[in-house]
C-alpha cells in the first residue's frame, strides 16, 4: 500500500478571483436623502439575492453507494475500499452514445451553490490487458441529457484528460457540446495497467455559481488541470451530432454528485482496486 504524502498546498490550482465591493466614504455634512434611498434599495436587492441563492460548503462528501446497479460479482466493498470488475451498463436508457460498461459508485447529492475546495483521493491499481479508454471519475449536475460537466478520462495511451459536457437550455441529446476542458497537461509518464498502485487525487474548487476549476495529481505530482463554466459564450457552435448553433445558452447546474469507478463505451476485462477512498473540503 502506498503511503500517502501530506497534501501539498502548492499542487492546488488558483482559486477563483471573487469580486470585491469597494466601500465609498462620504465627506462633508452627510449624504442626501435621495442617495441614502438608493443605497438602502441596493442593499435590499443584494439581501434578496443572497437569501434566495446562498452559497454553502460541506465538510465531507459522503454517501457513496453503487450507481444504478451492477452485475453480480462486479463490485466488492470493504470499509472505504472497493474492487471494480466488468458489468453491463444499468444506468442509461436509449441514448445515442451506447456506452456498454459501467461499474461505479456515486455520492450523495449536494446543492448547486456548493462553494469551496474539495479533495477526492484514493489509491488506485488497475489490471487489464486492454487499452480501452474509460472514465475513472465524474461530477454530475442534474442534467437529463449530455455528458456531465466533468469527466476524468484514463485514455488508451494511459494518460489523463479532462472532458466537460455542455447542455443547451431547452434542448435534448442532439444539441450537446463536449469539450476538452484541459488548460494544462504536465503528466510526466503514462500510467500502467499491470496492478501498480497510484495515489489518485482530484482537487475541485467551486465558485458557488456553477463554475469550477479542477486539478488531478498522481502520486502527489500534478498531471492535468482544467476549467469549466456554464456561462461560456460562443458565437457559433456545433453539437456532437453536427447541428450548428448560434450563440447557444447553456443550462445551469441543478445539483452536484460525484462518481468513481469504470465507465466505458466498449466492454473490456479489467480489475480496478480503489483503497481508502475519501472526499472532503480542504483549505485553500
User: Which grid coordinates belong to 116?
Assistant: 469551496
Sheet of 257-264, strands arranged across: 65-66, 101-106, 257-264, 134-140, 150-154, 160-166, 177-180
Three-state SS at 243: coil
Residues 74 and 88 sit within 8 Å (Cβ to Cβ): no
Q: Is the pLDDT of residue 17 over 80?
A: no
Average of pLDDT values for 110-121? 96
**pLDDT range class, residue 49, cuts 50, 70, 90:** very low
Tell me the domain boundaries of the chain: 54-282
Instruction: Give per-residue pLDDT as tens, 176-235.
Output: 998 889 899 999 899 999 999 999 999 999 999 999 999 999 999 999 999 999 988 899
Average model confidence (pLDDT) for the chain? 83
Q: Is the pLDDT of residue 145 over 70?
A: yes
pLDDT of residue 48: 37
Q: CATH number of the domain at 54-282, please?
A: 2.60.120.200
Burial of 49 (0-12, 13-18, 19+ CB in 10 A): exposed
Amino acid at each position: 500500500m502506498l503511503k500517502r504524502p501530506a497534501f501539498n498546498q502548492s499542487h492546488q490550482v488558483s482559486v477563483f478571483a471573487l469580486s470585491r465591493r469597494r466601500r465609498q466614504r462620504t465627506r462633508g455634512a452627510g449624504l442626501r436623502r435621495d442617495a441614502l434611498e438608493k443605497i438602502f434599495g441596493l442593499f435590499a436587492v443584494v439581501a434578496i439575492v443572497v437569501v434566495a441563492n446562498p452559497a454553502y460548503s460541506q465538510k465531507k462528501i459522503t454517501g457513496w453507494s453503487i450507481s444504478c446497479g451492477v452485475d453480480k460479482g462486479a463490485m466488492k466493498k470493504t470499509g472505504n475500499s472497493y474492487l471494480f470488475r466488468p458489468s453491463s451498463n444499468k444506468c442509461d436508457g436509449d441514448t445515442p452514445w451506447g456506452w456498454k460498461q459501467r461499474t461505479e459508485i456515486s455520492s450523495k447529492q449536494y446543492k448547486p451553490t456548493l462553494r469551496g475546495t474539495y479533495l477526492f483521493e484514493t489509491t488506485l491499481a488497475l489490471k487489464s490487458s486492454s487499452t480501452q479508454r474509460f472514465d475513472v471519475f465524474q461530477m454530475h449536475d442534474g442534467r437529463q441529457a449530455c455528458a456531465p460537466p466533468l469527466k476524468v478520462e484514463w485514455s488508451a495511451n494511459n494518460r489523463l484528460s479532462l472532458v466537460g459536457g455542455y447542455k443547451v437550455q431547452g434542448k435534448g441529446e442532439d444539441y450537446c457540446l463536449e469539450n476538452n476542458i484541459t488548460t494544462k497537461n504536465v503528466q510526466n509518464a503514462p500510467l500502467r495497467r499491470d496492478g501498480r498502485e497510484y495515489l489518485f487525487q482530484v482537487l475541485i474548487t467551486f465558485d458557488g455559481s456553477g463554475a469550477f476549476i479542477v486539478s488531478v495529481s498522481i502520486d502527489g505530482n500534478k498531471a492535468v488541470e482544467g476549467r469549466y463554466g456554464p456561462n461560456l459564450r460562443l458565437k457559433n457552435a456545433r453539437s456532437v451530432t453536427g447541428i450548428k448553433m448560434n450563440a447557444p445558452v447553456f443550462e445551469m447546474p441543478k445539483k452536484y454528485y460525484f462518481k468513481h469507478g469504470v465507465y466505458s463505451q466498449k466492454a473490456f476485462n479489467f480489475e480496478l482496486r480503489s483503497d481508502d477512498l475519501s472526499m472532503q473540503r480542504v483549505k485553500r
